Amino acid sequence: MKKPEWIKKKVNSEGFQVIQNLMMNLNVNTVCYDASCPNIATCFNKKIATFLILGNNCTRNCKFCGISYEKPNFIDHNESMAVLKAIEELNLNYVVITSVTRDDLIDQGASHFLEVVKLIRHKLPHVRIELLIPDFYASKSLIKKIISLKPDVLGHNIETIKSLYPKIRPNSSFFDSIKVLKIIKELDPNQLVKSGFMVGLGESMEEIRELIVEISQTKCDILTVGQYLQPSLAQIEVKKYYSEKDFMVIKKTAEYLGIKKVITGPFIRSSYNGAEIYNSMFFLDD
């Protein structure tokens, strides 16, 4: 399939290398690098990164994802201190923390989220924290632990439409992901909740609308929708490149269905411009 012109992004390597060297020196993983995010140069030049905890090997093997599917890493209990140092070095006021899925662990890594976030809260209480969590098999008790951290934003991505899950996310459940969003709002109606999905995997506009309906019914506050871009030849091919007009239709559909904040576009990813999106929530009309 011919790639559109917009897919070519200019890269400023200077800022990229500074951040990449810092992360390597501190032994800190970022989803930006490990998942081959198309916005990595833009974000690194702004001294912004999404921290990836619990190692960089995932147990799910989703067919769109650039993160490696290998034997999971041992839990590094120095990781929380390394992430803290990176936040201090970059002088961040807003951080996004996500993780690989760890089905090999009894609590799927929930306690490690607690360890990392509690240290940041203790040492840098002014820092706003956004968490992007795996599905934890929709365990209410594990999600409750995460909510106890009082993240400023709590996210869980649906990723794709229901009918594509068997092919695209064979080891995950669409219903678990929807349930995660519902549980969060059930446990804390005031918690800001974010979700996101990709287009270009073979879905139709009607299926996109049906997905947005299901997400809106969870009372999700923020929705991000971006173009799927193949990280490497090892992942599934792009089935369609969506136009700016398509993204505008998706945005208006989600807004009409009651989602408070909707961000759509080719390069939109769930944690992209996280601080700006969070701050904008306080200026929305009642």
Q: What is the mean pLDDT of residues 162-179?
A: 95
Is the separation of the CB atoms in 52 and 98 below 8 Å? Answer: yes
Q: pLDDT at residue 48 above 80?
A: no
Is the separation of the CB atoms in 51 and 30 below 8 Å? Answer: yes
% of the chain with per-residue pLDDT over 90: 62
pLDDT at 36: 57
- 222-227 vs 193-199, strand pairing mode: parallel
The residue range of the domain holding 46 is 10-283
Beta-sheet strands, E only, within 160-265: 193-199, 222-227, 261-265
Higher local confidence (pLDDT), 94 or 22: 94
Vertex 244 angle, CA 238 and 246, to 5°: 70
pLDDT at 150: 97
**pLDDT tens digits, 1-14:** 667 777 666 555 56
Task: Name the nearest CA neighbour of 196 among 221, 162, 153, 225.
Answer: 225
**pLDDT tens digits, 70-129:** 788 788 889 999 999 989 988 889 999 999 989 999 999 999 999 999 999 999 999 999
Cα–Cα distance for residue pair 56/47, rounded to 1 Å: 21
Domain-located, residue 19: yes
Domain-located, residue 4: no
Q: For residue 238, what are its two tokens?
A: 């792009």
DSSP state of 281: G
Domain-located, residue 272: yes
pLDDT at 258: 97
Domain-located, residue 271: yes
Place of tokens 């994802």: 65
Q: How far is CA 20 from the centre of its chain?
A: 20
Domain-located, residue 133: yes
**pLDDT tens digits, 240-284:** 999 999 999 999 999 999 999 999 999 888 888 888 899 999 876
Domain-located, residue 174: yes
Domain-located, residue 2: no
Q: Could you tell me the CATH number of the domain that includes residue 217?
A: 3.20.20.70
pLDDT at 31: 67
What is the number of domains present in the chain? Answer: 1
Round the average pLDDT of the chain to a whole number and report it.
88
Beta-sheet strands, E only, within 58-173: 94-99, 128-132, 153-155
pLDDT category at 138 given cuts 50, 70, 90 is very high
